[in-house]
Amino acid sequence: MRRFKLSDNAPEVSAIAYGVWRLADDPAGASTCRVREKIDACLEAGITTFDHADIYGMYTCEGLFGAALAEAPELRDKMEIVTKCGIRYPCDGLPDVKVKHYDATRESIEACVNRSLTELRTDYIDVLLIHRPDWLTSAEDTAAGLQTVIDAGKVRSVGVSNYSVVQFDLLSLYLENPLATNQVEISLLHMDAIHDGTLDQCQREGAHPMAWSPLAGGRLVSGGDSDSDRAVNALKKMAKAYGQTPDQIALAWVAALPSQPQVIIGTNQPDRIKSAAASESIQLSRADWYSLWESAQGRPIP
């Protein structure tokens, strides 16, 4: 598995990351043994980056993962842990939260990091991301929070998720440590970041983006509406030509972007983790990449 530094001041990561958003929804359960099965499948395939958020599984996924780490603490040195903070969702564990909202204030960042460290049973986070821009907090306040957790040795590098180009630039103005990444949605069915300058900004800043939902949450495999059906058919055809599976071609399409996104997969099936890891060696030709763009968009390129 190819590896690269997420950015100059961030850790080295695997080209494919494993996202734990769906960990609590696994039809096979969320026992420590099942979670460990997926961690092992990742590590065996060279996937060493695990993408978390405090909110995943209604604030349970970090704890499920942490329980597996507690049973095998030697695994911590073999992985990079990314987690996100800043979304507050009403649930039993957060009785004070009455309305879903964003909170990227300094105070909130510090509290979230402390909680994540406890849940994940670790004493540091490799990369902390602000999950979504908080419209009510100044960039200066958010930057102060990020700097505080870095200075405390709790977080090694920081980044953002779902930030616009301007929001990324603004926050960067107040940070001593450059942002390591912008984690955004990228797939054949979601191309905003390709067209709105987000990925160009990442190239300019020397920060690899992280690509979430590269299979559009499964729509690129199952189809079900006219856009995804068109893309699924094109992927099936291309997969035959390359001797690969359609999901592998869809992942390779994202990985081919010149900003070199770290592609975050989200399957709960260990076999699919292995197959996704193998997609890393697929090189789509320029013609095939553009042909998939056209099939997914349902129109020729301008």
Query: Among residues 49, 122, 198, 213, which is the contact residue for ligand NAP, using CB under 6 A?
Result: 213
Rg (CA), the chain: 19
Q: Which is nearer to ligand NAP, 7 or 181 (CB)?
A: 181
Query: Among residues 30, 216, 232, 254, which is the contact residue for ligand NAP, using CB under 6 A?
Result: 216
- In the complex, what is the shortest distance from the CB of residue 22 to ligand NAP, in angstroms, rounded to a whole number? 5
Task: Name the residue with tokens 């390591």.
Answer: 180
State how beta strands 101-102 and 16-19 pair: unpaired
Q: What angle, 0 to 180 degrees and rounded to 10, lies between the N-to-C axes of helices 139-151 and 165-173? A: 60
CA atoms within 13 A on the CB side of 231: 28
Encoded tokens for 194: 């390709």
Give the integer Cα–Cα distance in Å for 199 and 165.
9
Give the integer Cα–Cα distance in Å for 184 and 264.
10
For 167, the enclosing helix (H) or strand (E) is: helix 165-173
Helix, strand, or coil here: 10?
coil
By CB under 6 A, tell whether 295 contacts ligand NAP.
no
Query: Among residues 159, 214, 261, 270, which is the contact residue for ligand NAP, using CB under 6 A?
Result: 214
Q: Distance between alpha carbon 275 and the CA centroid of its chain, in Å?
A: 18
Residues 183 to 212 in contact with ligand NAP, rule: CB under 6 A = 183, 212
Q: Which is nearer to ligand NAP, 74 or 250 (CB)?
A: 250
Interacting span for ligand NAP (CB under 6 A) from 31-39, 194-202, 214-222, 291-299: 214-222
Q: Which is nearer to ligand NAP, 179 or 215 (CB)?
A: 215
By CB under 6 A, tell whether 264 contacts ligand NAP.
yes
- In the complex, what is the shortest distance from the CB of residue 23 to ligand NAP, in angstroms, rounded to a whole number? 8
From residue 57, how far is each of 41, 89, 206 by CA, in Å? Answer: 21, 11, 32
Q: Using CB atoms within 10 Å of the CB of residue 241, give its burial: 0 to 12 exposed, 13 to 18 middle, 19+ buried.
A: exposed
Set 56, 124, 163, 242: catalytic member: 56
Q: Which is nearer to ligand NAP, 84 or 301 (CB)?
A: 84
Strand residue runs (E) in the chain: 3-5, 12-14, 16-19, 49-51, 80-85, 87-88, 101-102, 125-130, 155-161, 182-185, 210-212, 262-265
State how beta strands 87-88 and 182-185 pair: unpaired
Interacting span for ligand NAP (CB under 6 A) from 15-23, 37-45, 117-125, 254-262: 15-23
- In the complex, what is the shortest distance from the CB of residue 300 to ligand NAP, in angstroms, rounded to a whole number? 26
By CB under 6 A, tell whether 14 contacts ligand NAP.
no
> Going residue by residue from 66 to 105, which x/- string records binding to ligand NAP, judged by CB under 6 A?
----------------------------------------
Give the integer Cα–Cα distance in Å for 51 and 224.
28
Q: Which is nearer to ligand NAP, 269 or 297 (CB)?
A: 269
163 is annotated as an active-site residue? no
Task: Name the residue with tokens 């040195």.
Answer: 77
Query: Among residues 7, 147, 162, 259, which is the contact residue for ligand NAP, using CB under 6 A?
Result: 162
Give the integer Cα–Cα distance in Å for 261 and 199.
9
Q: Which is nearer to ligand NAP, 95 or 295 (CB)?
A: 295
- In the complex, what is the shortest distance from the CB of residue 180 to ligand NAP, in angstroms, rounded to a whole number? 14
| Binding stretches for ligand NAP (CB under 6 A) | 19-22, 51, 161-162, 183, 212-218, 221, 247, 264-269, 272
Q: Which residue numbers are catalytic?
A: 56
